[in-house]
Structures are given as C-alpha cells and as structure tokens.
Amino acid sequence: MPATLLTALSEARDDAAPLVTVGDDTLTREELVGAAAAVADRISGAERVAIDARADVKTVVAVVGCLLAGVAAVPVPPDSGGRELQHILADSGAELWLGDPRPGLPIPSVPIDPSRRSATVRPEPPADAPALIVYTSGTTGAPKGVVLPRRAIAASVDGLARAWDWTPGDRLVHGLPLFHVHGLVLGVLGALRIGSPLVHTVRPTPDRYAAAQGTLYFGVPTVWSRVCAEPAAARALSSARLLVSGSAPLPVPVFEDLVALTGSAPIERYGMSETVITISTRVDGERRPGWVGLPLDGVRTRLRTESGELAPHDGETLGQLEIAGPTLFSGYLNNPVKTAETMTPDGWFRTGDIAVVDRGGFHRIVGRESVDMIKSGGYRIGAGEVEHALLAHPGVREAAVVGEPDADLGQRIVAYVVGDNPDTTAIIDFVAASLSVHKRPREVRVVDSLPRNEMGKVQKKALLAD
C-alpha cells in the first residue's frame, strides 16, 4: 500500500498481533486493511456515506474503508432519535448507510462484514480532501456538520505524538463513543496513524480499564471520577505511562485523586470538533490542575477582550480564545454564513470559549461565552436542540435548558418547562426518543413562567442562580 493518513496500515508489521480490539473482536493489520479495502470497493464513487457508529469493530472497518476510498465518513450516534437521524442524513447528503438496516432509512444500507477481504490499492487522496463530517450541537437549532480534512487529523495527531511521546510501543485503551473527535479521531485514527495497538473496552468502566493493561488511557472527567471511586481499579492503572483527560474540564479533586491512587498526574488537553486537539500538557512538562497546557506544534492561540483588543498573557485576564493552524476544519457543511461568523478576517477560528494564558503560555479554559453549550459526561450538547425537542411535546408550552454543575457528569441537563401539569418522566422519555439518549434532561422542573428580558429572551443566568 502507498503511505496513507493511517500510516500504520502502510508499514510492514507483525501481522499476527492484534492491531485493533473492540470488546471480544480483534483485527490484525492485514485483516483490517483487507476488510476496509472491501468496504472501499463497495462505496467507491460516493461522495459521502453515513456510518452507524456503534462501539463495534465494524465501525472501525467502515471508517477506514471510507478513508481508503477517499469518501467522507459521517459518523452517526447509535442512539440518535428519528428527528436527529433524518437531519444528519439530509444535511450531509449521505448516499449510503454503512451498518445494519434501520427502519425508515431513506438511503440504501451496506452491511459491514469484517471477514470480507479485498486487495484493491488506491492512491492517497489530497490532504485537504474531507475525511470526516462530524455533527456537533450548536447553541441553537439542529446539529451542524463539521468538515474535517485529512490534513487536520494528521496535524493534530502528529502534534500529540510529539507532546505525549506517543509511539507504536504504546497500548492505547479507551471506551469512548466512536462518533466524535475524542473517541474516533484520537482514539481510533490516532492509534492507526501512530501504530499503537488499540483496545476499545466498549464501555469505559473502571473494571474494564483496570483489566486492559494499557500504557496510554483516554477518558473524560466522568470516567476518571468513576475510576477514582473504585480505588482498586485506579491503582491497577499505576503501571500506565499516561492517563489523558479531555472533552470537559477535569475537576481538581479528581486530578488529585488520580495522582494519589496511580502515582501519576493526568495529562489534560483542549480541542473542539472544529479544531481537533490544539493544546495539551506535555509528557515531560508541568501538569497543573485546572490548566490544559501549551499549543501543539504549528498551532497559534490568542485572546481577545470584549472590546476586541488582544488580551495580555498574564494568567489573570480573561479573553475569547482564537486559534489558527493546520488542525482547523474546512467549514460547516452547507453553512457558509455560520462558517464566516466563526472566522476572523485574518483566518483565526473563534472558539467561543473564554480562557486565560499565563506568561509561560499555559492555558486555562474558563468556560463558554454562552451558557447554551452544555458538557455532560464528556458530550457537548446544545441547549437549543434539546429545547426544540421539548417544545414538540404536546404538554410543553415553553422550555429553557441549562447545564447545572454535577460531581459525576460535569454538568447535568436540567429543563425548565411551562405547561399544564406535564408528566416530567414522560417528557424525559420523549426527548430520549427524539434525540440521542445522552441529550435527555436529567431533571425537568415545571414553572409558572420563564424569566425574560424586555426583548423576550429567556434569562438563563437567572435560572442558574436559583
């Protein structure tokens, strides 16, 4: 095979050793290449295809098949409700569904059989060709398709490899979902570019992490909180080289518990679907609780005050974080207006996050510019999308969704609704059936009215202050 984005697949290796393990299923390098090439044969000529992104070896085969064929992969959360699924399929223009058939699919299904093989070899697509279209919730409305080119994935993974000394000698372990940047781009494509064997535990439970015997572990704060709650499992990770936390801020008590139980301070890093990973602490550098470290090689960051001036890097002044570099997305699919809104005239991406940077370049993420982006259990959830689902319920007249602090999830989704004696349990089930299950409210509070300003906008800070 020619050299590819997934470098490990093009290099001669011990093909008897498993390269990918998901649950009880394993694939060697040769088996993965052959199975993915068979998928590439079947989808060749398509522009975009959707993937039923379950925690299954079939998802890995499907994604790699798309990359070999130069077809943009659209990973779909396996718990997507009907409305969310239809939006993703329609907005992406996906021509095929890779996975088992689902009722009501408007496009043909292509089942994935990891035992199939092909020897077809294809040229490497251009570096700017779309690799993935990842759907991410905005603060309002339906999810947006983030177009990630091949060069963005390569640049981020290579930067992390240098920051973490990530090598083929590592054994990567995680149990994160395979439809977003953390679990799929870092946790699968990163391993296949670096060449480190991957063990996906299907679910990121403390006992499965403890049994996996990895050198490099990925988790979100919720995972690490649960690991620390089981000291025996946490101590079993003391032989690991690195424990990496991301997708949401790691609470300082969890950071300190990991140090006490494993003898190693966790690595924290920062990124978004639109930027992949851009900032991280280093394997040989300081690991400061509450701080995410330094920009990766080739990445530049800056802060802007509310007045638009550049903010000083003094460790105290808050600013809107902007990022430039090779890891940036190509834009939002079918949404040039939104893409333009997020880019500065000189080509920097407006992250929407508030941060501080100290004199040494260390970054601390303070929070979102808007209260409408909720991070719960490692997921980024747009309040507006949940509100739209709530308002479709016949018993709900008005709705506002906020994220409240939660020791386990980071934030839990809380919905305030106005209606005529609505059944709160039924409302939660209604949202879970319409959207992904992880987007359901954990609590519904019935109120007589929502606080609004003179323009009619709900004042969510007032709800959070109650």
Q: 5-34, pLDDT tens digit by residue?
A: 999 998 767 678 999 999 999 999 999 999
CATH 3.30.1950.10 fits 373-465, yes or no: no
Q: Residue 423: exposed, middle, or buried by beta-carbon count in 10 A (0-12, 13-18, 19+)? A: middle
- Is-contact 385 358, C-beta < 8 A? no
Residue 107 pLDDT exceeds 50: yes
Query: Is this model's pTM higher than 0.85 or not?
Result: no
- Look-up: residue for tokens 């100290």? 358
| H helical segments located in 296-335 | none
Instruction: Look up residue 3 and give its two tokens.
Output: 């050299």
Domain ranges of the chain: 7-203, 267-368, 373-465
Long-range contacts of 331-338 (CB under 8 A, 24+ apart): 331/147, 332/144, 332/145, 332/146, 332/147, 333/91, 333/92, 333/133, 333/144, 333/145, 333/146, 333/147, 334/91, 334/145, 335/144, 335/145, 338/138, 338/144
Structure tokens at 64: 């790699």
Residue 77 has pLDDT above 60, yes or no: yes
One-letter identity of residue 376: S
**Phi-psi sector, 2: left (phi>0), alpha (psi -120 to 50), beta:** beta
7-203 in CATH: which number? 3.40.50.12780
The domain 267-368 is classified under which CATH number: 3.30.460.10, 3.40.50.2020, 1.10.1740.10, 2.30.38.10? Answer: 2.30.38.10
Measured CA to CA in angstroms, residue 436 lies from 294, 347, 367, 389, 440 at distances of 34, 33, 24, 11, 7
Q: pLDDT tens digit string along 191-247?
A: 999 999 999 999 999 999 999 999 999 999 889 989 999 999 999 999 999 999 998
Mean pLDDT of 37-47: 97
